[in-house]
A and B are shown apart, each in its own frame.
Chain A
Amino acid sequence: MPSDVEAVAEQVFTALADPTRRSILAALASGGPATATDLAGRLPITRQAIAKHLALLTDTGLVTAEPGERRRVRYRLRSAPMQVAQQFLAALARNWDGPLDALKDHLEGRSG
């Protein structure tokens, strides 16, 4: 599991860049913890492919594996790495250029 914010953010963005992993993460986010079998029933992806991606997501700390019912492994989304990545996006999403242009127009327009 990566230990610095840079690496954590990179893991999240790498995971999200793949459409299969993105759909697995989206399913866990919207529906809560699920087994590979549950996910295979909901997504147009084979159980084998889902299991492979879940193993990778577990290695990178984006999901955790836990015991579920009938001795099946359940996977749960971990919010911490997502929040690190979100922090990164927050800096990119902050728009100061627009407001500062507006401030300049507001003052200079008024003062002629």
Chain B
Amino acid sequence: MAFPDRIERVVEIASAPPTVWAALTTAEGLGGWFGDRATIDLRPGGSAQVTWDDGPTADLRVERVEEPTVFGFTWHIYGLPEGDTRRTYVEFTLEPLDAGTRLHVVESGFAQLSDDDHLKAFDGNTRGWDSELGDLVAYLGAA
């Protein structure tokens, strides 16, 4: 399928799983390699924020915490408008090696909605600003 729903990467790291786990799941760790600063409430449903000094902040929702094997979160799809509720799911899986860790990263959900669902979800928005501006005009007119 040409439309990519998943991104998968595998990387081998010369550090034991607990060290890699800490880099993925603590504020200090995430701020050390992923962004410049981070906060995290490490429990399913908890939120995390990763901030880049030169740019945006990513809001993450922690979904899976199985120390030191599986860490999963969802986040906003890069490039989609702020109000878009679609999120991709990122899952890190840590596999112990003799001399380190094999880290699997899978991000899925880029093509999560069928076209029908999608068009249904967004047809309601096609009036967009015009109807919102119309509502505003009506509201101000009535006031």
Contacts and interface: CB of A to CB of B under 8 A. Distances in A.
A17 interface: no
Interface in B22-51: 23, 32-34
Contacts of B80: 83, 86-87, 90
20 contacts: A5-B3, A6-B2, A6-B3, A76-B126, A78-B126, A79-B122, A80-B123, A80-B126, A87-B77, A87-B80, A88-B4, A89-B79, A90-B110, A91-B4, A92-B4, A94-B107, A96-B7, A103-B11, A104-B13, A107-B13
Nearest to A87: B110
Interface stretch (B66-74, B111-119, B135-143): B111-119
Interface residues of B, number: 41
Contacts of A103: 11, 13, 20, 23, 33-34, 103
Contacts of A88: 3-4, 110-111
Label chain A's interface by main secondary structure: helix
B34 A99 contact: yes
A35 B8 CA distance: 46
Nearest to B86: A87
A33 B128 CA distance: 11
B14 interface: yes
B19 interface: yes
B78 A100 contact: no
Given A32-B130, A88-B3, A89-B79, A5 B9 contact: no
